[in-house]
Amino acid sequence: MRAVLYHGREDVRVEEVDSTPLGPGDVRIDVEAAGICGSDLHEYAAGPIFMPEDPHPMTGASIPLRMGHEFAGRIMAVGDDVTEHAVGDPVVVNPIRYCGSCRYCTAGQQHLCASIALTGVSANGGGFAEQSVVPAESVVPLPESIPLRLGALVEPFSVALHAVRQADLTAGDSVAVFGAGPIGLAITQLARAAGATDLFVSEPRDARRERAADLGATTVDPTDTAPIHRIKRATDGGTDIAFEVAGIEQTYNDAITSTRRDGTVVVVSMFEGPVETHPNTVVMAERTIEGTMSYTAGDRNGSEFRSIIKLLDDGQLDPEQLITDTILLEAVPEGFESLRTPESEQIKILVEP
Ligand SMILES: [Zn+2]
Ligand SMILES: [Zn+2]
């Protein structure tokens, strides 16, 4: 079958690969759609970052490695020990792999596992392929009422929901979002669903700003307006919460100073390097800075994956709004190139094998 393999920086190839044998606790999925993530793009443009050059200590995976960690499909085979899933079931894959024995795993924080790996990043079974074999505990059932291709958006929306939960966002809060890529737009949708009132989005790209405006946000172009002044003027000195979703020095500092005293800043981005910041902006205003990393592992009650599936089923989110293109496996290398162009109007590209 065909799959997209990551060989190194700017070296992503569509290849014919052997299909993975099905272990007794595994399921084989006929992949319907897989999203290209900002972190995939980082690996392509500046990696390897998380893609293991030496075998990953827990999974043994190393590059060349099959990419794709945001995907959905239908189960086409189950291993002998799998009883909870059946052939034909529509599912989403939760890519988190964890050891089960470190202090975080035993405390129920598997997403912070000391030897964490992700399917399609540091574990085999990536979704840029016709089929994927993953452990049965990685799959989350998707109701037939949700189009299968939209299942690929459950992962990025779960990242956004975890960030919103870290912020303790409640109805009536004022919110600023710095960066309107897929995660920034998903946070904007979820902040709306959670009852945010004054909602600001700062984003330099026109196409992304327009989408944020469609969601009811007040948009700011940071290249022609100082976003913090506008936000502070409109919110009596700052928002309750800010989300940093761009990963650069300016947005890091703007996110902090755009909040009110005693406000909360959630840092969602992965940064390519250190930034310069003044700690007094946090100290003197008693602000709180929170990190947020992925989402709850596996399939469990109250997990972000399950909550997002319910919100999608309930019509409270609009995943189509994030999708700007759908491509075939063969076009994945060009997809990466189009996403990295600064003037690109792309947001989320779906790959349909
Ligand atoms: Zn992702
Ligand atoms: Zn662990």
- Do residues 36 and 76 both lie within one domain? yes
- Do residues 9 and 72 both lie within one domain? yes
Tell me the per-residue pLDDT of 24-60, one tens digit each, with 9 for 90 and over: 999 999 999 999 998 999 899 999 999 999 999 999 9
Q: How far is the CA of 295 from the centre of ligand 1 (A)?
A: 11
Residue 183 — pLDDT band, cuts 50, 70, 90? very high
3-state DSSP of 68-81? CCCEEEEEEEECCC
Span 345-350, mean pLDDT? 92
Looking at the domain assignment, is residue 252 inside a domain?
yes
- Do residues 254 and 341 both lie within one domain? no
Looking at the domain assignment, is residue 43 inside a domain?
yes
- Do residues 186 and 271 both lie within one domain? yes
Q: What percent of the chain has pLDDT over 90?
A: 93
Looking at the domain assignment, is residue 276 inside a domain?
yes
Tell me, what CATH number does 131's domain have? 3.90.180.10
Q: What percent of the chain has pLDDT over 70?
A: 100
Q: How far is the CA of 59 from the centre of ligand 2 (A)?
A: 12
- Do residues 135 and 163 both lie within one domain? no
Q: How far is the CA of 37 from the centre of ligand 1 (A)?
A: 5
Contact 50, 120 (CB under 8 A): no
Looking at the domain assignment, is residue 64 inside a domain?
yes
Report residue 297 CA to chain centroid gap.
Answer: 14
Place of tokens 């989110």: 317
Q: Which ligand is nearest to the CA of 99?
A: 2
Contact 8, 2 (CB under 8 A): no
Token pair in block for residue 73: 């499909």
The one-letter amino acid code at 309 reads I
Looking at the domain assignment, is residue 151 inside a domain?
no
- Do residues 278 and 333 both lie within one domain? no
Query: What pLDDT score was predicted for residue 225?
Result: 82
Looking at the domain assignment, is residue 313 inside a domain?
no
Tell me, what CATH number does 233's domain have? 3.40.50.720
Contact 130, 30 (CB under 8 A): yes
- Do residues 271 and 161 both lie within one domain? yes
Tell me the per-residue pLDDT of 150-166, one tens digit each, with 9 for 90 and over: 999 999 999 999 999 99
Q: Which residues contact 285 (CB under 8 A, 6 or more apart)?
A: 259, 260, 261, 262, 263
Q: How far is the CA of 58 from the centre of ligand 2 (A)?
A: 10
Looking at the domain assignment, is residue 74 inside a domain?
yes
Contact 350, 35 (CB under 8 A): yes
* Full residue range of the structural domain in which residue 13 is found: 2-141+318-351
Looking at the domain assignment, is residue 58 inside a domain?
yes
Which of 274, 291, 308 is the C-terminal boundary of a domain? Answer: 291
Q: How far is the CA of 117 from the centre of ligand 2 (A)?
A: 10
Query: What pLDDT score was predicted for residue 281?
Result: 97
Tell me the per-residue pLDDT of 87-121, one tens digit each, with 9 for 90 and over: 999 999 999 999 999 999 999 999 999 999 999 99
- Do residues 169 and 122 both lie within one domain? no
Q: How far is the CA of 295 from the centre of ligand 2 (A)?
A: 15
- Do residues 105 and 17 both lie within one domain? yes
Query: What pLDDT score was predicted for residue 227?
Result: 86
Token pair in block for residue 305: 């994956």
DSSP 204: S
- Do residues 343 and 230 both lie within one domain? no
Report every protein residue that has its C-beta within 5 angstroms of ion ligand 1: 37
Structural domains of the chain, count: 2
Contact 93, 152 (CB under 8 A): no
- Do residues 125 and 8 both lie within one domain? yes
- Do residues 136 and 14 both lie within one domain? yes
